[in-house]
Amino acid sequence: MEFTIYRAQEEQLIKGCIRRERSAQQSLYNLYSAKMYALCYRYVKDSMDAEDVLVTAFTKIFERIEQYKGEGSFEGWVRKVVVNEALTFLRRNRSMFLETDLEAADREPDYHTLSDHLEAEDLLRIIKQLPTGYRIVFNMYAIDGYSHKEIAEQLGISENTSKSQLSRARTYLQKLLADTEGLNHNQHRHESAN
């Protein structure tokens, strides 16, 4: 029942945005801006740049809202526009350096050795430490659900390069997580001793 009400409300906002009603645009922005800002920030790492990407993405959403045909979730459509804008920003600012070495990491990380004490914020902070190319592919594949084929098309790279970037990102993340675990373990030990 609640989902149906939400869906009807969302449809009314979309129709209002198609009619270029400022109140509908503001309501839609308020509904999605926090989630989409977090999405931008995962890609571009700088809060001011993330804000710029968000504003530009919403401008495009409002300009192209008629292109949403009601197939699939509207939020998914919004996310795609936002991710595309983040990638455009990174390309334009030449901060997107993808390693093209196709040598994949030999082993899959052992995530079972890490504790469950890490919070979502800790993980996002650690993901931000990844080199740009690794971070972009990891975000697109592991968090935003793009396939390697879609990533390759979006970034102008081969599927193998996408797979290699993901594999290296996972290995790099495992190292960062293990380092964080070590710091947390030592900090808890030190606090217990006092």
pTM exceeds 0.85: no
Contact 173, 138 (CB under 8 A): yes
CATH topology of domain 2-92: Rna Polymerase Sigma Factor; Chain: A (1.10.1740)
CATH topology of domain 111-193: Arc Repressor Mutant, subunit A (1.10.10)
Count of CA atoms in the C-beta half-sphere (13 A) of 24: 16
CATH 1.10.1740.10 positions along the chain are 2-92
How does pLDDT run along the chain (194 residues), one tens digit per residue? Answer: 555 566 778 889 999 999 999 999 999 999 999 999 999 998 988 889 999 999 999 999 999 999 998 888 899 999 999 999 999 998 888 655 554 443 333 334 444 444 444 566 777 788 888 888 888 999 899 888 899 999 998 888 889 999 999 999 888 888 887 777 665 555 545 455 55
Contact 17, 28 (CB under 8 A): yes
CATH 1.10.10.10 positions along the chain are 111-193
